[in-house]
Structure 1
């Protein structure tokens, strides 16, 4: 039995009642919390500043105490007191500080610089860790953060507090998520160290995730049947893209928009995957906040002449089929929530390893006390 299989079996043998507590910083729509819950953590507190994200989170996690607040104004000890936690009692502090300031998509296009004020939010994760001294930490972000000096400062701060940190770049497709999505992952254990899980599942495909859904017009799900409006010219362009993985590049230069004909050797390069179709039997490309807009990436359905729907995007992220995303501010804002979320299955794989480490440490402590 592999270490990963053994770890999963250990988690499965635990009682159904969650024994480990967690707080989700920068919770967004709740992808992190879904993954933590699936790994048998009880998420007791969450924080985010975005009202629409909070609306989505509370619709799906009604029992979690949520702070809709700028995390920089939130006092960790006041939060802990309200949750009934003492310093050192929390099992897991998890979070994904907003990553747009580090995104290579934006920095390549020079629309976001390293001076983006959101970059400083990485230090808030360290501030909460220092105040609460949880037993373990889980942080995820875009790969570019790993090269930033702020990440080095965070690790140094955590190590001074007694945490052993392990970090690396992993792909969500290696953990059963039907999407290629590279992420920086950091795991830390107070007074110890946890190794990263590098691969746990066979790759899932677009077909596995959305192949069984009805045509949107035949669905009563508002996240699947929201429709789209295209000009005749754009609709004809979509219809011409070859099925099952086809690309607009195959249509020839005359069929392309001028702004899409740029190549990497020219300023402000275009993105070659725009107006491309997903492939049925491969994982989806990385979803973004523009995941229902075919001009933003390879977001066309493999065979139907349309972009993927919000429900399809959510399933490709690994959300449960009944997970709710609000349409109160329109479908494109809902798409941002989905595209910016963490894939729950990816989170779960890392959180299960943390759960095993914490449970093993707790059992050893009990055993040691009994031997005295």
Structure 2
């Protein structure tokens, strides 16, 4: 049985990579962001196609599947329109709000066997999501969705996401949680090379930390893991936090705790002042590579060509917006279980499983 997946809004390839680790073939990833081309193709077998999904025709999408017997379509549309913070600035009239309607348009026309998407939990409050679910049901799909605690599947991060699965072949759902005990920041990045603010590793250009002003160096030195700016001397507290409105943001300028999962990473996780993104003990925010690892990417995942410049904003956006690789694996296992398929494990999965087995024996 030939299986083929297409990953709409593929980004840097987090979902595709997770599916590939489970042996689920993905033929192509589609995204409008040209910066995603290199990481997608450098780490995944599928082809990157730069295209606006709102302009993608059903005939073109249908042709990508070729002679596949089982067709899987992923469509993890950008989550920003549905986050509570973004709704202060983004409106229903903007193009990004309508991307789920284009996803539904393509599903209705192409009728893939299995559908999956991931987004922020608050997407379920919006009419566009309810319309999307109804369109799937009208097209004779069995639909399942729920808010998932990603740490219960082995992601070292407190990241809650809505995951949807739909099938034309009966009931479908996500597999049960795989981890009773959450992976921690120490488990994920405790082995990383020590690094100071503004410095980069000679071995891994992505293991680079943003610079800090002298004022922010004083602030992070006054911060304790799991604490906030409320722990600082009054002289270090920013004027905006002294105001009543600023008191509702206690997690900014905070350090992570070693022995807990990381907080939810955003696209600005590399900035100490943007959340609890301070390293547990070094006087800096976490590096770009550390954030990628906390998002489930393998440490060797390449995001830029060798020798190319590393831009914090571009890479922070790609990594922070990614579907965690771990969740891609869980979705892949769920689809295999639903369809009764037994794909061979990839070499990377075999190696990871072997390492885990050796660790348990040790």
What does residue 152 of structure 1 align with? 130
What does residue 25 of structure 2 align with? 42
- Contact 2:29–2:49 (CA under 8 A) maintained in structure 1: yes
What is the distance in 2 between the residues matched to 1:205 and 1:218?
23
- Residue by residue over 1:308-354, the C-alpha shift from the partner in whole angstroms, topping out at 9 and shown as x without a partner, is 00110000001011001126461221111111111111221122111
Q: TM-score, normalised by structure 1?
A: 0.84
What does residue 297 of structure 2 align with? 319
Q: TM-score, normalised by structure 2?
A: 0.87
SS in 2 for 1:104: coil
Of 189, 210, 213, 1:228 maps to: 210
Residue 254 of structure 1 and its aligned partner are, at CA, apart by 3.5
Of 106, 113, 119, 1:141 maps to: 119
- Contact 2:53–2:102 (CA under 8 A) maintained in structure 1: yes
- Contact 1:72–1:124 (CA under 8 A) maintained in structure 2: yes
What is the distance in 2 between the residues matched to 1:314 and 1:71?
26
What is the distance in 2 between the residues matched to 1:294 and 1:148?
32
Gaps of 5+ in 1: 1-17, 362-372
Of 308, 311, 329, 1:330 maps to: 311
- Contact 1:32–1:344 (CA under 8 A) maintained in structure 2: yes
In structure 2, do the counterparts of structure 1 residues 269 and 192 end up closer, same or farther at CA, with 3 Å as the change threshold? Answer: farther
Q: Does 1:105 align with 2:88?
A: no
Q: Does 1:77 align with 2:56?
A: no
What does residue 208 of structure 1 align with? 187
Q: How many residues align?
A: 335
Q: Does 1:67 align with 2:46?
A: no
Residue 359 of structure 1 and its aligned partner are, at CA, apart by 2.2
What does residue 368 of structure 1 align with? none
SS in 2 for 1:298: coil
Q: Which stretch has the larger CA shift, 311-320 or 331-340? A: 331-340
Q: Does 1:260 align with 2:238?
A: no
**Aligned pairs (5 A) from 1:219-368:** 219-224=202-207, 226-242=208-224, 244-263=225-244, 266=245, 271-326=249-304, 328=309, 330-359=311-340
In structure 2, do the counterparts of structure 1 residues 29 and 192 end up closer, same or farther at CA, with 3 Å as the change threshold? Answer: same
Residue 76 of structure 1 and its aligned partner are, at CA, apart by 2.6
What does residue 14 of structure 1 align with? none
In structure 2, do the counterparts of structure 1 residues 44 and 80 end up closer, same or farther at CA, with 3 Å as the change threshold? Answer: same
What does residue 365 of structure 1 align with? none
Of 157, 163, 168, 1:179 maps to: 157
Residue 252 of structure 1 and its aligned partner are, at CA, apart by 4.2
What does residue 355 of structure 2 align with? none
Of 99, 103, 106, 1:125 maps to: 103
Which portions of structure 1, spanning 4 or more consecutive aligned residues, are displaced by more than 6 angstroms? none
Gaps of 5+ in 2: 343-362
In structure 2, do the counterparts of structure 1 residues 72 and 218 end up closer, same or farther at CA, with 3 Å as the change threshold? Answer: closer
- Contact 2:296–2:324 (CA under 8 A) maintained in structure 1: yes
Q: CA RMSD in A?
A: 2.2
- Contact 1:32–1:95 (CA under 8 A) maintained in structure 2: no
- Contact 1:170–1:198 (CA under 8 A) maintained in structure 2: no
Residue 80 of structure 1 and its aligned partner are, at CA, apart by 2.9
